[in-house]
A and B are shown apart, each in its own frame.
Chain A
């Protein structure tokens, strides 16, 4: 390194003479054919640059810097190490050198990471100073650099130097640039508002160069848009209004409209004043950018003015109808989106176009249309629109289909399902979404299925029907996107089994062979669901017997044989019916029939045979799982087997006619135990629930847990055998049952086959093909794509408009926790905002002071404006006198402090332009000034509290004619 620097510190004359120029570098890069060659060329060039840039010869240095700039901006090489070399070149008197240096600096300096930035202060000030030796060719890039890379310190120190350029009345080309720079300086360092704001306001005046006006409007537009509270800019409304009416420059008009869009909501009179000009612009102008800005202004701030809104909506229709310009269609949809449900008539007017946009070739337009439609949702149209969208999603491309699902899920689930009245419908919609061929939203559906179950009691019967339909379909099991949903469905089927029409069918679905395709964590949920259903079935069986005991039982015994057969028949028929219904895709129509069959079935469900059949089935399938490698699955499987063991172990089981032994204490106890295990209802848990649990007295949470070791050790040795889930026991039963299990599977499989024959392949098929189920998510009805949109347009005959039809049934209770539930708390206070607040506070201060203490220039300008107003023919002399009154009133009240402040300030400015020679003295002044700034700022804050509120409203009134 030392050698390198030694050699580089004195590059030979040869180096200088044969230095490669920027053009040479570009040529080399362009001629290198492969990426590797290019990288090598760049590396070589960088080496050269590192050597050349240290050269004492400025020409060599400049060329090196130019090359480096090129590489940094187009090939993304870091050039922060060269910051000093750029600064070195700034003072050069040869014009190309500082310009190249400025270009390099403005492209590479970063306000926070370039620590050499303070070194630029002096040179920038020199270039900004209005002296004849400074050509605009260096002043302009200096302004540019200040705008792009100013740190708060740099901004504070150089703000006074902008003033001479800013207040230059002639048409200096630098003035608009200085305005833009002042904007950035203000944004970076709000403290400079007292210095910079007044000249900015003056730029708006009539006499200014139109380019300065345009730049100033741009600056105020940025300021007003960025401010959290734009009210400090209200006093400038007359100036803006003048520009709105008079300006012939569309770019200026657009900016003015933006400012008014911010100001109008603050002050209804502003809105009333600008409606007419805006409508005229809308009618007269053809420039789309201007028309669009007018529309946006109307939609965001003038919604109370019906005529304007109608006019804007008409223009939007023109936008939407422009087939050849996707930009206009996109923007039209976006503008409609601003309207919100209150103006859904506007969307309704263009309903067909909006819905057809869902089919646009441009994904952005589709997305915008979707957003618009979702924005129109309300509780009366949610059913129609969501049905339409879900049907549409089946036919659209995968990405967009999932976007639709996402939007529907998010909108319907918003704020704890506030839009949903009919939860039965919603739950079945969730089930329908899963059938989408591109479905990939498993996580959200899983969450919502469980969440609805927990929160909405009335939705549970439908929920379990949906869960059953999902679980029973073997084709769904192979889809990795669905396993989350299936897990939720399995949980629902176990938790709310009491609403099921046929628990046995659920168990069969949960234990079907293809469940081995599921990941273990889902499998564990399945097994646990089986456990719950088994417990439930057994309890119901016992209860049924106990209830039947009081009646005469004998006669049913004789008939059982015949009836059982019949019910089997019915069961087979009903399930095949349902399967057919699935295939056709109108589950609703056959649902009634299914209920009928199921109710017949249910009477026969909990017979001795069916229970024992159930036990056998479970034992057969779950048995192998007890050896499963996954602990979750294994543990739960053992639980299930243990329960079966207990049931089998009861005396009652071995005797043909159970009713005699139901008085057995053991059984009653067991039933009680199981009931108590599952009867307690699970509810939603608030996110803050844990905080609300008070720590019981005497419990020390921080205590060392080492004592627990002993207890744990004990536990290992003596596995708790109270419910006899022990390993040994289990093994013995398994051997006992061996003979039974050997026979069972075949018969069970046969039965399963009979029931769900549809999903089985023909018998003679090879085993290896067992995974090739028909694609689960085949669209149910093959629809030709040509008629898609027409179908869809026809579909929602009146869907977008909110109907006021009474819902057929009242909205069920949705459990909702008070706090932290569904509503995301929004933290709006950010650092940026506080900064903006500071800025607008400072600006308000400046403006109000202007009002109260008109300086000579301001006086003339205000006189001029009042004159203009009189010329306009508005009868406002009274108001003007009022304004003067309020000014003098303000003077009396606050004159003292503010005049002191501004006078002092004025002096400072004179100083700053006056003494530019002595560096030391200057730095001293800087420190003094900055400390002064702080003091003044504090002072202002203290003094402003009443000032903000009291005099402001009269001031605004005066301006607003």
Chain B
């Protein structure tokens, strides 16, 4: 299974973290520090796998962002690379040629998308279309709820409460 997902920028800034195995906050900080040191130091044209504490970390660089996933030693590395690519393609489709800034300012959206793809460290949805549809449906629901909340009658109800 996937133990965690990290998005790290080339400067070592963390852009997204998702933990599927229980790590305490302290361990998380330590893991991120260790791995960003390990991965950012690797040059281009090397293999995309790093052994780390008995696990394997599969990473791939897209522009200035490193997408890293930590897996068990007997998991399939190439499959994870495909999952990473899958995730990136979905992000790309959703944001329209995604860039780092999109992820910075829509950080919860990125989480919702990731949650549609992976649950509990397992790949959930292998169809890009379906994910796009699900996310769009959620967005419209949320928008509708927001509109309702900001409607005039609602505001009046709140003030007079």
Partner of A327 from B20, B72, B78 at Cβ < 8 Å? B78
Interface residues on B, range: 35 or more
Residues of A within 8 A of B79 (CB): 251, 254, 289, 293
Q: Which residues of A contact B123 (CB under 8 A)?
A: 214, 218, 251
Cα distance, A80 to B119, chains bound together (Å): 22
The answer, yes or no, to whether A135 is at the interface (CB within 8 Å) is yes
> Closest CB of chain A to B47's CB: distance in Å?
4
- A contact residues around B74 at 8 Å (CB): 225, 258
> In the assembled complex, how far is the CB of residue A400 from the closest CB belonging to chain B, in whole angstroms?
14
Query: Which chain B residues lie closer than 8 Å to A26 at the CB level?
Result: 104-105, 107
Q: Which residues of A contact B51 (CB under 8 A)?
A: 364
**Once the chains bind, are B107 and A177 in contact (CB under 8 Å)?**
no
- The answer to whether residues A70 and B107 also contact, given A59-B149, A95-B142, A219-B122 and a CB cut-off of 8 A, is yes
Check A103–B25 contact: CB distance below 8 A: no
Provide a sorted-by-A list of 18 A–B residue pairs whose CB atoms are within 8 angstroms. A69-B108, A70-B107, A74-B14, A75-B14, A76-B28, A96-B146, A103-B112, A107-B18, A107-B111, A110-B22, A176-B119, A222-B1, A254-B79, A292-B78, A293-B76, A326-B46, A331-B49, A364-B47
Chain B contacts for A222, CB-based, 8 A: 1, 122
Which chain A residues lie closer than 8 Å to B107 at the CB level? 26, 70, 73-74
Q: Mark A51-66, 1 if CB is under 8 A from B, else 0.
A: 0000000010000001
A436 in the interface (beta carbon within 8 A)? no
A892 at the interface (CB under 8 A from B): no
* B125 within 8 Å of A (CB atoms): yes
Q: Which 8 A-B pairs have the closest CB atoms?
A: A289-B78, A147-B120, A95-B145, A326-B47, A180-B119, A362-B46, A330-B47, A218-B122
Partner pick for B22 among A23, A112, A180, CB 8 A cutoff: A112
- Whether A330 contacts B49 by the Cβ 8 Å rule is yes
Complex Cα spacing A70 to B110, Å: 12
Let me know if A76 and B47 touch, CB within 8 A: no
Which of A66, A76, A144, A361 contacts B46, CB < 8 Å?
Answer: A361
In the complex, which of the residues B14, B22, B78 contacts A331, with contact meaning CB atoms closer than 8 Å?
Answer: B78
- B81 and A249 form a contact (CB under 8 A): no
- Residues in A whose Cβ lies below 8 Å from that of B15: 74
Name which residue of chain A comes closest to B144, CB basis: A95
Interface status of A141 (Cβ within 8 A of chain B) = yes
Per the bound structure, the CA–CA distance linking A139 and B144 in Å amounts to 18
Say whether A30 faces chain B, with CB atoms less than 8 Å apart: yes
Q: What is the bound-complex CA distance between A293 and B82, given in angstroms?
A: 14
Name the distance in Å between B150's Cβ and chain A's nearest Cβ.
10
Contact status B78-A288, CB under 8 Å: yes
Which chain B residue shows the least CB distance to A78?
A: B25
Report which residue of A70, A293, A327 has the largest number of chain B beta carbons within 10 angstroms of its beta carbon.
A327
Cβ-defined contact, B124 with A180, below 8 A = yes
Residue of B nearest to A219 (CB): B122
- A111 interface contact, C-beta 8 A: yes
Contact status A94-B46, CB under 8 Å: no
Instruction: Verify if B24 is at the interface (C-beta below 8 Å from A).
Output: yes
| Residues of B contacting A176 in the complex (Cβ-Cβ under 8 angstroms) | 119, 124-125
Contact A144–B141 (Cβ < 8 Å)? no
| Contact, CB under 8 Å: B124 / A96 | no
Nearest Cβ distance between residue A124 and chain B, in whole angstroms? 15
Q: Is residue B126 within 8 Å, beta carbon to beta carbon, of the partner chain?
A: yes
Q: How far is the CB of B141 from chain A (nearest CB, A)?
A: 5
A100 and B109 CA atoms in complex are apart in Å by 11
Whether A110 lies near B32 (C-beta < 8 A) is no
Contacts of A638 in B (CB 8 A): none
Task: Select the residue from A59, A95, A99, A149 with max chain B CB neighbours within 10 A.
Answer: A95
Residues of A close to B16: CB separation below 8 A: 73-74
* Alpha-carbon distance A26/B107, docked complex (angstroms): 10
Partner of A135, one of B14, B72, B116, B141: B141
Does A143 belong to the interface (CB within 8 Å)? yes
CA distance A148 to B19 in the complex (A): 8
Question: Nearest Cβ in chain B — how far from A840, in angstroms?
Answer: 17
A126: interface (CB < 8 Å): no
Is A173's beta carbon under 8 Å from chain B?
yes
Whole-angstrom distance between the alpha carbons of A30 and B28 in the complex?
23
Task: Known A214-B126, A251-B79, A289-B82; judge A143-B49 contact (CB<8 A).
Answer: no
Point out the residues of chain B lying under 8 angstroms from A94, CB to CB: 145, 148-149
Contact: A147 with B22, CB < 8 Å?
no
Q: CB distance A103 to B111 under 8 Å? A: yes
Q: How far is the CA of A219 from the CA of B119 in the complex (A)?
A: 11
Q: Are A110 and B24 in contact (CB under 8 A)?
A: yes
B142 touches A144 (CB 8 A): no
Please report the C-alpha to C-alpha distance between residue A296 and residue B104 in the assembled complex, in whole angstroms. 39
**Per-residue CB proximity of A162-187 to B under 8 Å, as 1/0?**
00000000000100110011011000
